[in-house]
Amino acid sequence: MTKRDLERRKNELGYTNAIVAVLSGVSLEKVEEIFSDNLATTITYEERNAVENVLRERDADRVCEGSLPYFGKKQGEFTLDDYYAMPEDTRVELIDGVLYEMLAPTTIHQDFGFQIAHKLQNHIEKNKGKCWVAVAPVDVQLDCDNRTMVEPDVIVVCNRDKIIRRCVYGAPDFIVEVLSPSTKKKDLTIKLNKYTEAGVKEYWLVDPDAKRVMVYRFEEDVVLNIYGFDSKVPVGIFDGKCEINFAELYEQIAFLYE
């Protein structure tokens, strides 16, 4: 594929350079070099091939990843009635009428979600705030319609009118998704777009494998910031007065990486 083909395909998929880097395993610096006009490139064949493989993928593969078969309807036609009719031992998300199966999270995945929620809750209690923190599974009727119901890993809701017994009705202020191989594409593309459109203010993607955090703050000029696990990441919805120290979080579960 030529540089023009790569650029066109990236735009068709709605991928940023950061998303391409995460999906391909190639560093962000190298991905940016591939899409630059710099002729003196240091890109290896393996790196370019990894990027091309990501961009060659069909939209159907991306959108239908993890989707459940459901007799009588096609993907895109499902509603909340179908969502609530699923067996109790089956976890799914409904996004624009498409059902996605949710596999059991790993211990690393669970620990990151719990620790982040714990830090957020401590900050809120210390400052006598009214924001509400929850960890999965909790239903979020993101668009307030009957075609989407998601289960983010961690949410913060500061408008308590959105919290009802059945679910969170509307967009949370803050969402964290911990990436896993089975959900990575959905979290980086489909959910990113949905959260942006729904009015989520801040969205974190924690990548345990790459040991980094991608932070989207949709109300700022610089939308995306990327932090390593050696960083203290400020929480934008709390004006940076709350920080999540990922060095501390990682130290607590480093044994799981051995």
List pLDDT tens digits, range 154-193. Answer: 999 999 999 999 999 999 999 999 998 888 889 999 999 9
Checking if the pLDDT of 225 tops 70, the result is yes
- Return d(Cα 24, Cα 27) in angstroms, integer: 9
Among 195, 191, 175, which Cα is nearest to 183's? 191
Are 231 and 213 in contact by the 8 Å Cβ rule? The answer is: yes
- Cα–Cα nearest to 190, from 235, 234, 238, 142: 142
pLDDT of residue 67: 44
Average pLDDT along the chain: 87
Distance in angstroms (rounded) separating the CA atoms of residues 222 and 56: 29
| E strand or H helix that includes residue 109 | helix 107-126
* pLDDT at 81 (0 to 100): 92
Provide the pLDDT for residue 62.
39
Q: Looking up tokens 């990682």, which residue turns up?
A: 250
What pLDDT is attached to residue 175? 98
Task: Measure the CA–CA gap between 120 and 131, rounded to whole angstroms.
Answer: 10
Predicted confidence band of residue 59 (pLDDT cuts 50, 70, 90): very low
Structure tokens, 171: 């967009």
Would the CA dihedral through 212, 99, 110, 203 be positive or negative? Answer: positive
pLDDT at 63 over 90: no
76-94 burial, b for 16+ CB within 10 Å, e for fewer? eebbbebbeebeeeebbbb
Can you give the pTM of this predicted structure?
A: 0.81
**Bigger pLDDT: 167 vs 7:** 167
Phi, psi of 80 (to 5 degrees): -65, -30
- Cis omega (within 30 of 0) for bond into 172: no
Q: Between 94 and 220, where is the model more confident? A: 94
The arithmetic mean of pLDDT across residues 227-238, rounded, is 96
Q: What percent of the chain has pLDDT over 90?
A: 59
Query: CB of 99 within 8 A of CB of 82?
Result: yes
Name the most confidently modeled range: 35-39, 60-64, 104-108, 220-224.
104-108
**Would the pLDDT of 133 be above 90?**
yes
